[in-house]
Each structure stands twice: as structure tokens, then as C-alpha cells.
Structure 1
Amino acid sequence: MSNLKYILVTGGVISGVGKGVISSSFGTILKCCGIEVTSIKIDPYINLDAGTFSPYEHGEVYVLDDGGEVDLDLGNYERFLDITLHRDNNVTTGKIYQMVIDRERRGDYLGKTVQVVPHVTDAIQEWVERVAQVPVSGSGKIPEVCIIELGGTIGDIESMAFVEAFRQFQFRVKRENFCVAHVSLIPQPRSTGEHKTKPTQSSVRELRGLGLSPDIIVCRSEKPIDQSVKDKISNFCHVAPDQVICIPDLSSIYKVPIFMETHGIVEYLNDRLKLGISPMPPARKFMKQWIELSDKIENLRNEVNIALIGKYTRLEDSYTSITKALQHAANSLGYKVNIKFIDSSKLEKAMLAEDPVVYHEAWHELCKTDGVIVPGGFGRRGVEGKIEACRWCRQNNKPFLGICLGFQTAVIEFSRNVLKLENANSSECDELVEHPVIIDMPEHNPGQLGGTMRLGKRTTVFKDSAALSKIKRLYGKRNTIEERHRHRYEVNPVYIKDIEEAGLKFVGVDKDAERMEIFELENHPYYVAVQFHPEYLSRPMAPSPPFVGLILASKDKLKSYLARGCKLSPREHSDYDDTDEEDECSDDKENVKTHESDSSSAYSSSGVL
């Protein structure tokens, strides 16, 4: 292929219509055809990155290998395409304006008046072209197709500069190398029961008025859309019927690329962008792994219930990567996971006095679950509730996984109730605390919040004494692993010896053995916590080991799984049977050698199989 191809994905009518999944699905389909693909997400906000956002603003903050704090849609791209992206793959208005202003200060514009057109629009085009040509991780090849998702909806004042930039860009790279896919909502008012196309017509009309004509219109709806509605959209939006794809809500997002492929998207893109895919592969063959995954999820017969004790539970997108990682792990083991979001503040004793009904309901929900996960977060609100959840899991042998703040709250709980340091706490919650078992890292810059944490991929080293630890065996008995971090507090070294002597073992540390990365509680089915964020490297085909351990322990399968060398029993493999079985392996067989190549959770340094 002589020229790099670009697919611009825009949205209409409302935000949150599913552009991220649609963009990821375009990439998945092309990658299955042997095309090298990369992705760019454009966010029109003025923030330099997503690092200082509350999760209630845009959902979770996703962290990349290089420490980039970006929009959660880049998580979709990485999970679907199984590639590693970089901070420059997320473009914001703030980044563009900062670059333009820096150039102006250096005198690069030679005294010209700096304006949106041409200076800002040129900067956008240059950024896109530069990032699109960065070699794809793994293969090292230059991408053949770059998929660009423009955040927000067409008509937003914030995105006007980007729309104008792409109006120019289509001529810069030539029409045969540039394609526009417009994703729009087709509402169905209850009063009429009919699908209404007028909002989409208006959205397309506005897009065309701004100089971009959609080649593909992806219609999103709750229920399937009949052919007459599709024909109407084709007629009024000036596209052929085969260029209109109607995607209703599906039972799994992993069905979306399969659904799109069955509607001829490969044939159309191959012809429109001259991709050179020949001969056209049968769908069942080239999308085999996605079809098998979708079929497996559809036929799951057993369930596992996991409680997520969070601070931002009013918006489930705040924990997107966590929920995906739980699904990846559960699905790979033959379970459908039911996640119960519990606001940690409702578990606090203060809530008992304020609203006893809410307090007891929250604890009742927690007690009904098979396992518990306590994820990350910032600030003091809800921390005491997380500490109470950690205590309950430790004392009642409930499978537990702590992540980031969850790691820290478990250390606080253990220090208070086992070491009897009644006032133990984090300096984040109490600067004058008597026993600061969690402290601010030395390199943290308290004068600036954005980009000052310990960010990105870091190496964790398993201690020699951790040879038989559950978590090390789940990682395939590797001596070192690499996971992504996002934190500015750590375990206070002063208390480490006392904590370990009491039974909470820090089995993983950083390369300098100064920072505690993983702990595991002795004599507990599964009480594990990590300072890093393993959810960021979880993939549909390669689930994250700590999550695999939580799911197995929640169904009382972990012991036998480890004894078999991290393999499911033949019966579990064949039909995902969840009936009680006699453990075939005695305790002395737990030392069986683990062969990484055979392990269903074999884990490479890049986080993929």
C-alpha cells in the first residue's frame, strides 16, 4: 500500500453514542484482514490530558505504557486491537494550543498573526500525520490505516477547529485515502414506537455543511431498525443503502465487529480506500477468534458475583477497565460475572448513624457476593468504608483483590487491627497522623497535580521468598513482571518489617526493592493487593492474572487450578461445569512445576499472550 489511509469517525445527535467501540471495531476488522492499524482519539477539551479529571467527568482515566493519562476510549482501542498506544495518540485542544503558543514564542511564525486558520488547523493535521506513522507495537511496521475518533458531537463549538482541519486534510491526503464514518442515534419515542431519522438527517446535513461528507453512516439504536428506515436514511443523507449500517444494542461489545463485518464493511472499505485485500477472506475464518469469544460469552451457564467497593459508583464508566478485566477473567474461566457496585461511604460507621437502612443494605449486598475488589481512587472520602471492607474480607476468608488505593487501605486496616496501631492511616487522609503507614512519595510535587504521579509501566520483582505465592504462580512463575502505575502514595518503609512479621507478606517490590508492589496474606484463600493497575493490560484473549485469581478463589477453584499448573480441569474446559468436585490434587502437589507455555494465564512483559 503506497499511501497511509485514514478513517475519521464522527458522532451526531448525542455524545456517548458508542463511537469508541465503533472505531475499535473498524480497526479489529481490518486487523483481522492483515492490515496494520493504529488509532487516534481527539478530545476537544482544553485540558492537556485527562489526568486531573474527576471520574464523574469523563469516566476513568486510562494510563498508557509511557505514563500518558488519556481518555478511556484508548483503552477500548488497546483491548480490541491488542496494540500499545502512546500519549500522543490522544489529542486535546490544550495540547494543540500549547504547541502553537510554544512555536509563537520561539518566533517560528516570523511575526505573523497567529490564527485558528491556518496555524491551529495546520498543527492538528501535522500532529495526526506524525502520530499515524509511528510503527505499530509488536510488529514494528508502519501502520497502513489510522482510525481517528473525533470526540463530542458535530456542531459543538469546541470541535470546530478539528472539523475544519479535517476538511482541509481530506484534500491534503487525497480522497482515495480518506473516509468519514458518522455515528448517529436513531431514537424511538415510546409515544409513537417508530424510529425517527430526522435527528440523523440534521446531523449529517450539518456535517456536510462544514465540508465533510460521510461515506458510512452507522445508526445506533436500542432495538433493530427495519429496512424502510435504513432506506430513508440512505435517501435523505445522500449515501447508498449499503453504506448505512444499523447497529442495535447487542449482548456483548465483542459482537459489534462481527455484526459490522456481516454487513459488508470489509468489501466497502477495501473498495473505497483501495486496501488491496484479495481474495476476500471468509468471515468465519478471518474473524475466528472473535466469533469464538462471542459464542463462548453467549453460552456461559454459570455465574460469579463480585462486589466492587468504590468511591465513584454513580458512574460505572469510572471503573471501565476494572469491569472489562473482571469480564475477561470470568469469561476465560467459563463464568458470567455479575458486578455489584457498592459506594464505600455507605459501609462506614458514620452512615449507621446517618441512615441505618442504607448502611445495612450496603453490608447485605456485600455479604451476598462471592468475592470483593477494592479499586483505586483519590482523597479521603469513602476511605474508611474501604478499610471496613478490607477488614471484613480478611476476617471472613472472603476472596479479595485490592488495587492501588485498595492496596493502601488494606495495609492501613492490617496495621490498625493486627498490629494494634489504632491511629494508623495515610498521610493523604490525615497529614498529622500518629502512624503514617502510607506516605507521600519523595518525588511527588505538591504544587502541581497534573502529571506528577508515578505513572506508566514499571517493573515489579518477585522476592526469592515468594516462590510459592499464589500471585507469582498466576503470573506464570515469572521473576519480574511489568504493569502500569498511577499513584503518588506508597507504604512507609518504617512499618514494613512489623507488617510482614505479622503475616502480610510483600511478595513483589520495585527494581530497587524500596517500594512495595504486591502483598499476599498468609493462611487466606485469596487476599492479594497490588499497588499497580493490572486492569490496564487485561485483554479479551489474555486476562490479567490477579483477576483470574480472584474469580477462581471466589468459586473455590484456585487451589486445584494452581495445583494443576494453572490449568482448568478437563470437565471445566469442556462445559464450564460449576458443580462441586473432589479436589484431585493433594496439598503436597501444589509444588507442581508451572509451564508458562501451557498456562491459560501465561503473561508476557507486554501484557499479552
Structure 2
Amino acid sequence: MKYVLVTGGVISGVGKGVIASSFGAILKSCGIHVTSIKIDPYINIDAGTFSPYEHGEVYVLDDGGEVDLDLGNYERFLDVILHKDNNITTGKIYEHVIKKERKGDYLGKTVQVVPHITDAIQEWVERVANQPVMNDGQKPEVCIVELGGTIGDIEGMPFVEAFRQFQFRVKKENFCCAHVSLVPCPKSAGEPKTKPTQSSVRELRGFGLSPDLIICRSEEPIGNNIKNKISNFCHVSPEQVITIHDLSSIYRVPLLMKDQGIIEYLNERLQLNIQMPLQVTFMETWRNLAEHVDQLRNLVNIALVGKYTRLEDAYASVVKALQHAAVKSGYKLNLTFIDAVNLESQTKETSPILYHKAWQQLCSADGVIVPGGFGQRGITGMIETCKWCRVQNKPLLGICLGLQTIVIEFARNVLQLENANSTEFDQDCKNPVIVNMPEHNNGNMGGTMRLGKRSTRFVSPTSIVRQLYGNPEIIKERHRHRYEVNPKYVARMEAFGLKFVGHDEHHIRMEIVELEGHNYYVATQYHPEYLSRPLKPSPPFLGLILASVGKLKAYLTKKCRVSPSQLSDNDSDEACTVECINRQSLKD
């Protein structure tokens, strides 16, 4: 097994996740089986109890693991299915060691950070690295390990020490350290400054890890003079300094790394036996995708109405899924984040200026998405959004909480049910159309929801969502929720046109809802964004984009057999309707 350790310096959020994913994408394109591990030094057991403003979204895996959003990058870039043990936290390591101590596994020895914690880290990495990825079945040959935070953080010290030992445990030819550092360019200086990188590399070496590769992140391209300076002062050859400036899309990062000789270096350093030179078709798919993204000109305007809009990473997978669907449809995504609170007319948190601006943004959007979340704040704004989209025939996709707000709005304004609400927001509401799932609530907050991949069975052959998936009877998607639609109200809602076209495998829980006669008014209890891929967008997201640009009916008429980007202006929904009328006239 070969290991590539990715560390970071100077500041956090410098792009280690994308660079680590790019390492994996490059090696996988060379025929190497790859897996990934993300290490987060915080003491939490997992990411499930995080505020979205702390670390961004909580990413959910097939096995129900609530993990760091960087594992989403790995799955999207590598098209693999990881599991919860691929995310290591300080909490997990200490919990593992303490359980062993309680059972007497250390035979009375004093349990210490060195060697017991550091040994546990190394054993965990080796165990997970040698597990086949779920959708591949092959034993990995290379494991990409990303160490979160920056070098020098006190909470990360046990992990740094563990990898100092680990490099000797697995031998030099099986271990490569790549250090990602920021190269700032202050306006007052007018040139990139290498001193932060020098200091970061010096600190890393002081802990016993010597970088084999230095990945320099910058806003603008770095010239050879700066590259040679970093090489000289950090004791590496110029070929070991890789420069990554801000690019038009993240899909160009692997291409830029490849153009700087990363394959040749890893092949020699890790003895990978990659046959050189590579075929001309190497990473052709990536290059075509990157060029296609750069050439998009037509805009599709989507409004995201949510609770955590101050931080884009809070909806990282939703944003990626929208981008995947827009690119597949031949459009460039123009995404507007709207705080749901600002859509509420009578609230202390909303000023008249923000209120009118939010509604102006919503009204000018081609389509709307209401994603998941927890808590009371902003719910009224989400409900108002659902009502406006329903009445104005505006394409809407609701996810998790978005489905629940659609149900609440429909119950209040169509069924005229007084005080219809969710028991999450009002325990004693007169009409609880959304209720708690007691079997998934044991009093704790972490890991107690309905989590992971579960089956959804379609109950309607004419469902729009079913057609977008390719007309299967059953689909499997990932879930993360504690509340569900109250089945007592389902029949009444369906009688008025809100159809629950997808149920769980036991026909108890409502999974997909569609509004009859609407352009695209769809919601899912599951989170389809987690399984979206750059070359295979999530079907509900694709439906939203196509409906927003007026091409959904044409796409469905062609039975989803053509690429959405191949639909021309002549394939609009209006043209499709005329064509269907003409065909019917010929039959008559």
C-alpha cells in the first residue's frame, strides 16, 4: 500500500480537499485503485452535531456516517463510495483507546498519547486504507490521507507525530508527503511572498515530516523566479514545487497538476509502475468537462432559499449538484442565496430593505430550491416561498425540510387546516402534518436520525421524478432526517393534487411528492445531492434546471434518451406541447 499525506500550512481553507481529491483523480486515471481518508483533529465523534456555520455542510455516506464535507469532494472526484471510518476524528481515536483501556487490553500500563494514541491512529489508517471501496470491490493501491487544519495546531499534534512514525513503519518508498501552503501577494508589495511557506515548511520539518511536494496556492499564477526561490529555501527541487492559482473551475486543478509533471514524480517516488508515456486519451474526460464548463454562456438563474446562507459551504453538495445539472443541460449556473428570514414580512430580524430585495431576487429567478435544515428560524419564509412557487407555477425543488415546508403550506392554504405545522416547531399543534420518528430519537443529538442509503419505491407510473431516473421501480438515495410526513393526512392531500409518488420500502414513509398540473413542483425527503456526480447529475436537480429553462417536457417526451445539452430552442416546452397536439390531430 502506498500513502500520500496532504498537510496544510499558513491558513486553513487553502484548498487541501480539492488538491487531495485531484491526487486521487490523477492516479485513478492512470489505472491505479485509490481510496481516501480525511482526518479532522476536533474532539467530536463525527460531524453530525456541527453548526453549518462552523464547518459547512454535514456530508452523509451510504452507511449513515455523518462526515466532513471533504469526503464529498473525494466521492465526486473519484466516483467511489466511502464509509464512515474514512473520516477520522480525535474523538473517534480517544473513544477507541478508552474502550480498550476499560476492557483491560493494555494490561495495566499507563495509557499515553505516545505510544497508545499514535499507534491507534496508525492502525486505523492501515486498516481503512486496505478496505476495498464499496462500488469498486478492488483493494486500493494508493491511499490519499488529508490532515485537517494547519501544521502547528495543538489539536493536530498527535496526528503529526503518528505520521512521523508512520513513514518509517511503511518504508520511504511507500510514503509521500505533500504540503499545501498559501503564497500571498500583498497589494503594497506587488509580488508574491514566500516567507509564510518557508516558515510553514520549517515547522513541518521540525515535527519530523519532510515534504516531498510543496503545493503553492495563490490568486494569480506564480512565475518561475518565485518557484525557484521556494525550491532553494525549502530544500526541494523545482520539479517538487507545484503551483496552483485560482482557476475557472475546480475541474482544471487535476489538469494543471498533471501538466506540471505530478504523474512522473509520483510514479518514480512511490514506484507505481505506471507505463510511460501515457496514452493520448489520458484524462480526456476531465479536459472535455473543464473546457465545456468554460464555454457555457447561457445563464440559468436559481434562487436557494435557506437558513444558513451566510456560508456557501453550508450547502456545498447542493451547489455542486446544481452545477452538475446546469452543465449537463448546457447552461451556466447563476445561484442567488436568499436568507429565508428576509422573506418574512413581520419579524424583528427583517428590515424593509432586505425584505423587498429578497422578494425581488426570488421573483427574478428561473427556478427555486429549498434545501434541508433544522430549527424554527426562517420556516415562515420557506413556507411563503413554497406558496409563491405553487401559485405562480415557478419550478421548485424541496429537499428534506423543503418537502416538509411544502406539506405544511399545502395543508394550511389548500386544505385549510387550522394551525397545520410540524411537531418540530410546535409540539401541541392542532394538525401535526409533520411528526417525529420516535425510533430514531433516543435523547441524543448525534447519530440518532434516519441516516444513510435507503430504498424508495415509486407508486406512480407517470411520476416526473421516476421518468428522470429512467423509470425504475426502486431507487436508493441517502437520508438525514428526524421528522416525516404524518400518514394520516396523505389521502386528503392527494385528493387535492399533492401526490406522494414515492414511498419507503414498507409503504409507511413518504419519500417523494409532486404537485399535479404544475410545471415542476417536486420535493424529496432524501438528499439527492449526495450522489450527484460531475458527469452524472442527480435526476431531481436535472429536472429543476430543465424546467427552469423550459425544456423539461421536451426532455421527457424524448424519454430522456438524449443529452439535455443537445436540446435546442426548438425543443422548448411550448414547442413540445404544439407537437403533441399536432400528433393527436393526425390520430383523430
Q: TM-score, normalised by structure 1?
A: 0.94
| Structure 2 residue 575 is the aligned partner of structure 1 residue 582 | yes
Provide the residue aligned with 1:538 in structure 2.
532
Provide the residue aligned with 2:78 in structure 1.
81
3-state secondary structure, aligned to 2:209: coil
Superposed CA deviations along residues 232-290 of structure 1, whole A, max 9, x for unmatched, are 000000100000011100010011001100110000000000000013314x5120110
- 1:351 shift after superposition: 3.8
When structure 1 is superposed on structure 2, of 344-353 and 61-70 the one drifting more is 344-353
Provide the residue aligned with 2:37 in structure 1.
40
- 1:11 shift after superposition: 0.1
| Structure 2 residue 230 is the aligned partner of structure 1 residue 248 | no
Superposed CA deviations along residues 310-341 of structure 1, whole A, max 9, x for unmatched, are 10000000000000000000101100011100
CA contact (8 A) 2:302 2:365 kept: yes
CA contact (8 A) 2:53 2:308 kept: yes
1:24-423 equivalences under 5 Å are 24-282=21-279, 284-351=280-347, 354-423=350-419
> Structure 2 stretches of 5 or more lacking a match?
none
CA contact (8 A) 1:36 1:136 kept: no
Structure 2 Cα separation of the partners of residues 401 and 237 of structure 1? 51
CA contact (8 A) 2:344 2:350 kept: no
- 1:422 shift after superposition: 2.8
Provide the residue aligned with 1:573 in structure 2.
566
Structure 2 Cα separation of the partners of residues 512 and 373 of structure 1? 28
User: In the alignment, residue 507 of structure 1 is paired with which amino acid?
Assistant: V
User: In the alignment, residue 511 of structure 2 is paired with which amino acid?
Assistant: E
Provide the residue aligned with 1:468 in structure 2.
462
Structure 1 Cα separation of the partners of residues 95 and 508 of structure 2? 36
Structure 1 Cα separation of the partners of residues 430 and 311 of structure 2? 35
CA contact (8 A) 2:458 2:502 kept: yes
Q: 1:553 to 1:241 in 2, by over 3 A?
A: same
CA contact (8 A) 1:351 1:359 kept: no
Q: 1:14 to 1:575 in 2, by over 3 A?
A: farther
Superposed CA deviations along residues 83-134 of structure 1, whole A, max 9, x for unmatched, are 0000000000000000000000000000000000000000000000000000
3-state secondary structure, aligned to 2:501: strand
> Structure 1 stretches of 5 or more lacking a match?
591-609
Superposed CA deviations along residues 275-306 of structure 1, whole A, max 9, x for unmatched, are 00013314x51201100100110111211000
Structure 2 Cα separation of the partners of residues 535 and 409 of structure 1? 19
- 1:567 shift after superposition: 3.7
Q: 1:255 to 1:206 in 2, by over 3 A?
A: same
User: In the alignment, residue 526 of structure 1 is paired with which amino acid?
Assistant: Y
Provide the residue aligned with 2:493 in structure 1.
499
Structure 2 Cα separation of the partners of residues 85 and 300 of structure 1? 32
Q: Which residue of the other structure, out of 437, 444, 448, is the alignment partner of 1:441?
A: 437
Structure 2 Cα separation of the partners of residues 382 and 337 of structure 1? 25
Structure 2 Cα separation of the partners of residues 574 and 491 of structure 1? 37
Structure 2 Cα separation of the partners of residues 52 and 508 of structure 1? 29
Structure 2 Cα separation of the partners of residues 517 and 259 of structure 1? 42
Q: Which residue of the other structure, out of 542, 566, 581, is the alignment partner of 1:548?
A: 542
User: In the alignment, residue 101 of structure 1 is paired with which amino acid?
Assistant: I
Provide the residue aligned with 1:478 in structure 2.
472
Q: 1:587 to 1:145 in 2, by over 3 A?
A: farther
Superposed CA deviations along residues 534-591 of structure 1, whole A, max 9, x for unmatched, are 0000000100000000000001100111001114489x5288999898337416989x
Q: 1:48 to 1:587 in 2, by over 3 A?
A: farther
Structure 1 Cα separation of the partners of residues 567 and 429 of structure 2? 54
Structure 1 Cα separation of the partners of residues 548 and 76 of structure 2? 25
CA contact (8 A) 1:455 1:487 kept: yes
- 1:342 shift after superposition: 0.1
User: In the alignment, residue 377 of structure 1 is paired with which amino acid?
Assistant: G
CA contact (8 A) 1:12 1:182 kept: yes
CA contact (8 A) 2:553 2:573 kept: no
Two-structure CA RMSD over aligned residues (Å): 1.7
- 1:358 shift after superposition: 1.1
3-state secondary structure, aligned to 2:433: strand
Structure 2 Cα separation of the partners of residues 46 and 336 of structure 1? 40
3-state secondary structure, aligned to 1:451: coil
User: In the alignment, residue 20 of structure 2 is paired with which amino acid?
Assistant: S
3-state secondary structure, aligned to 1:443: helix
3-state secondary structure, aligned to 1:111: coil
Structure 1 Cα separation of the partners of residues 436 and 112 of structure 2? 43
Provide the residue aligned with 1:596 in structure 2.
none
- 1:141 shift after superposition: 1.0
3-state secondary structure, aligned to 2:244: strand
3-state secondary structure, aligned to 1:341: strand
User: In the alignment, residue 348 of structure 1 is paired with which amino acid?
Assistant: E
Count of residue pairs brought into register by the alignment: 583
CA contact (8 A) 1:460 1:483 kept: yes
User: In the alignment, residue 442 of structure 1 is paired with which amino acid?
Assistant: P
CA contact (8 A) 1:407 1:530 kept: yes
CA contact (8 A) 1:474 1:549 kept: yes
CA contact (8 A) 2:551 2:571 kept: no
Q: 1:223 to 1:305 in 2, by over 3 A?
A: same
Structure 1 Cα separation of the partners of residues 553 and 80 of structure 2? 33
- 1:403 shift after superposition: 0.1
- 1:432 shift after superposition: 1.0
3-state secondary structure, aligned to 2:317: helix
User: In the alignment, residue 300 of structure 2 is paired with which amino acid?
Assistant: V
User: In the alignment, residue 386 of structure 1 is paired with which amino acid?
Assistant: M
Provide the residue aligned with 1:520 in structure 2.
514
CA contact (8 A) 1:302 1:578 kept: no
Provide the residue aligned with 1:564 in structure 2.
558
Q: 1:104 to 1:6 in 2, by over 3 A?
A: same
CA contact (8 A) 1:197 1:233 kept: yes
Structure 1 Cα separation of the partners of residues 583 and 95 of structure 2? 60
Structure 2 Cα separation of the partners of residues 579 and 252 of structure 1? 29
Structure 2 Cα separation of the partners of residues 67 and 18 of structure 1? 26
